[in-house]
Structure 1
Amino acid sequence: MKITDRKSEIIAVSAKLFKEKGYSAVTMRDIAQAMDIKAASLYNHIQSKQEILVLIVIEIAEEFTNIMDEVLNSDASTQAKLERIIQLHIDITLRNPDALACLNNDWMHLTDDKLVQFIKMRKDYENNFKTIVKHGIANGEIKNYNLDVIIFSILSTLRTMYIWYNKTNALSPKSLSDNMVKVLINGIV
């Protein structure tokens, strides 16, 4: 399905509103008002609020999945793979923090097959991440710390980066990337 400029604008405005108020609290009327159009006009471009949520969440989840598959199947070192995953999260956070917030906070409002699809993508992503870390531990590239603590520490930091990054405008994207890699991969001592 080709996404028009107007549809892209609807998606961007909706993601911002979902981040601010939460998916459940936002109505199609709210979206229309934020765009300064009549609610009926939205339906020329979009069928429902659920369609908007699907477009936001599934698109980003597919991007994460596709890059993770590339990383997992590459011949790169564990460190290079982890650096690429960190950079992926940073890129998405900087490009579209509102949509990332929606993915993290509102995915549970997906319905039926889209909810099943998202849960599978998320689980596969986490399992692939775990596979990379396990491989790194087995090869001696990563210290043999508790696997679940490593996974939780890195993924929870990356998934919530959108919450604090815009508040700290002192960091350039390069500085953010360099520091995240150093802290998350090398630790602080």
Structure 2
Amino acid sequence: MNQNRQQEIINAAALLFQEKGFSAVSMRDLAAHLNIKAASLYNHISSKQEILASIVLQVAEEFTTHINAISPDDLTTQQKLEAIIQNHIDITIRLTNKLACMNNDWIHLENENKEKYRHLRNTYEDKFRAILKEGKEKGEVKDVDLEIIVFSFLTTLRTLYLWYTKKTSVEVEILQRDLPKTLLNGIIS
């Protein structure tokens, strides 16, 4: 099996899933997009479900691997949160279509892949809460309800791709500089 061709198929599928949604894309659509015969896809991939699982789990594992790596570190809460924000920015820029697919189409995963995704997502959120809780205990995070912080941060970060793809005038360096400041310090001077 040609890994490059398989990755090309997965990347094309992520783009189509972002544009049309998982349910609206057929293997014929994917083949037409790649300018190959539908039967040829099956030389590299077994099903649309396999493609979806590959995309969603890859992105979810990147997020979870990163937060696991910074959680036990001897960093301040602010440094951990800045690292989380920068990771979201990086994934948003590097894997926009796949991130969109994860956010919008994970619900179409089947059986063990759906459970694996939910486990990764819950692990990520639990680690995020633990970082915030520890920060509150150390006096590094304001006395604000943790669930409001979790909601505010993760909603902004998970949907960053929606905003960023429309705001191409915002340079990556400015996004990397100003988003952490805005999320961590607010906007009131």
Structure 2 counterpart of 1:141: 140
- CA deviations on 1:53-77 (whole Å, 9 max, x unpaired) are 0110001111111111011111110
Question: What CA distance in whole angstroms lies between the structure 2 residues aligned with 1:73 and 1:103?
Answer: 26
Asked whether 1:51 is paired with 2:50, we answer yes
Question: What CA distance in whole angstroms lies between the structure 2 residues aligned with 1:124 and 1:145?
Answer: 22
Q: Which amino acid aligns with 1:21?
A: K
Structure 1 counterpart of 2:182: 183
Structure 2 counterpart of 1:70: 69
CA RMSD of the aligned region, Å?
Answer: 1.0
Offset at 1:146? 1.1
Offset at 1:177? 1.1
Question: What CA distance in whole angstroms lies between the structure 1 residues aligned with 2:120 and 2:106?
Answer: 12
1:102-113 equivalences under 5 Å are 102-113=101-112
Offset at 1:80? 0.3
TM-score between the two structures when normalised by the length of structure 1:
0.97
Structure 2 counterpart of 1:4: 3
Q: Which amino acid aligns with 1:33?
A: A
Offset at 1:171? 1.5
Question: What CA distance in whole angstroms lies between the structure 1 residues aligned with 2:135 and 2:157?
Answer: 19
1:31-50 equivalences under 5 Å are 31-50=30-49
1:73-92 equivalences under 5 Å are 73-92=72-91
Query: 1:3/1:104 Cα in 2 relative to 1: closer, same or farther (>3 Å)?
Result: farther
Question: What CA distance in whole angstroms lies between the structure 1 residues aligned with 2:2 and 2:31?
Answer: 18
TM-score between the two structures when normalised by the length of structure 2:
0.97
Could you list the runs of 5+ residues in structure 1 that have no partner in the other structure? none
Offset at 1:124? 0.8
Q: Secondary structure at the match of 1:57?
A: helix
Query: 1:182/1:3 Cα in 2 relative to 1: closer, same or farther (>3 Å)?
Result: farther
Offset at 1:3? 6.9
Question: What CA distance in whole angstroms lies between the structure 2 residues aligned with 1:45 and 1:183?
Answer: 44
Question: What CA distance in whole angstroms lies between the structure 1 residues aligned with 2:2 and 2:161?
Answer: 25
* Alpha carbons 2:2, 2:44 under 8 Å: kept: no
